[in-house]
Structure 1
């Protein structure tokens, strides 16, 4: 469950998923505002000829094992004791991201994202299955059927496509990506660098 934010200079734009939740203290310390704009990671990969690290590093001995160990250390540092690799990975996030667009039109999107992150990265659910999608969001206190129906709204579809293309046009090639003004920071391992930039250059 991931998204990239694109916004005016002077405000932090960023991804919200495990990475952003784990670094919320950065925004508290700096007083920066995090604005989230949903986009589709698969669309970004297709447009930039990129692919998930587990695929791109598949032929590099030891690389994926180290990648998973880094995730474990990150979760340990930030207290994500319930994190588990989704057994259905890679999951098509189209439904999740369209619903994120729809929900965010009239609501603070953070509760939706937090629920989706839990479903994907704690509960290990197959969130590209419409029945699982509806049942999971119903159980989390949302109207799952309404969210599913909203994913078929032509305006919602178009907005997600536009957001994704805008991200690519701005230089985004993966998630999480953050912008401070026009300065791009990619990856959870560069969030501390972003904090330095906020304090010294923004």
Structure 2
């Protein structure tokens, strides 16, 4: 007999617009996705997390993207959100500390509120353009999702949650994750928004395809309004590159 693969793994990042849109489509096709997959947060580690990864012999496969690729990502994301009719306010990241939202999510999962906290964080980042690396923003997300804000914002100083976060990134290293979003089920691997339907056909052939609306007319040369203002004013380089796919 052929043994069925273990539960699928989904590596996600609050930083990535493709991760946000992939999980949005995934949940539309499989509403119970948060309980039927094992989720692993993935982010650019700070010095403390990086040192802990080094101690385990793990690396960070992701390579920071070029300015040209980052500019393409801005334009591509605008096409996608216009096509799907999703409201978006492009966030501008300045010296972000990605442990704040991602370890905060691990704290929310520990408290049984992973999904509502996830929803609040992506709404803050992608719908309102807020800086989710600021503890006060994450505290608001925690409060709205029924959590103690101090429990979530204190995750960066919690040794157990730090260790859990390192284990998530080590798992990504062992699974050869090099970009986000990344789905793995047994020997099958799927990277990116455009591979979601391939994953669904394999994992849940009974599920409806992920909803992709017909193409809408868009200005392919355009950028999300806030990002366009940053670029045209000469402040483009204040928005950090990398980590988005």
What's the TM-score once normalised by structure 1's chain length?
Answer: 0.75
> CA offset at residue 178 of structure 1?
0.6
Q: Which residue number in structure 1 is paired with residue 41 of structure 2? A: 38
After superposing the two structures, state which structure 1 stretch, 86-95 or 172-181, moved more.
86-95
- 1:88 is paired with a residue whose SS is coil
Q: Which residue number in structure 2 is paired with residue 94 of structure 1? A: 99
- 2:157 is paired with a residue whose SS is coil
> CA offset at residue 162 of structure 1?
1.1
Aligned counterpart for 1:47 among listed residues 49, 55, 60: 60
Residues paired across the two proteins, number = 183
Residue 90 to residue 33, structure 1, CA distance change in 2 (3 Å): farther
Q: Which residue number in structure 2 is paired with residue 198 of structure 1? A: 203
> CA offset at residue 15 of structure 1?
3.8
Structure with max Cα Rg: 2
Q: Which residue number in structure 2 is paired with residue 21 of structure 1? A: 24
Give me the whole-angstrom Cα distance separating, in 1, the residues matched to 2:62 and 2:204.
34
Aligned counterpart for 1:144 among listed residues 149, 174, 188: 149
Residue 154 to residue 167, structure 1, CA distance change in 2 (3 Å): same
Give 5+ residue unaligned stretches, structure 2.
13-18, 54-58, 206-245
1:71 lines up with 2:77 in the alignment: yes
Q: Which residue number in structure 1 is paired with residue 120 of structure 2? A: 115
Is the 8 Å Cα contact of residues 11 and 42 (structure 2) preserved in structure 1? no
Q: Which residue number in structure 2 is paired with residue 3 of structure 1? A: none
Is the 8 Å Cα contact of residues 103 and 112 (structure 1) preserved in structure 2? yes
Aligned counterpart for 2:7 among listed residues 4, 11, 14: 11
- 1:100 is paired with a residue whose SS is helix
Is the 8 Å Cα contact of residues 98 and 156 (structure 1) preserved in structure 2? yes
> CA offset at residue 12 of structure 1?
2.6
> CA offset at residue 115 of structure 1?
0.6
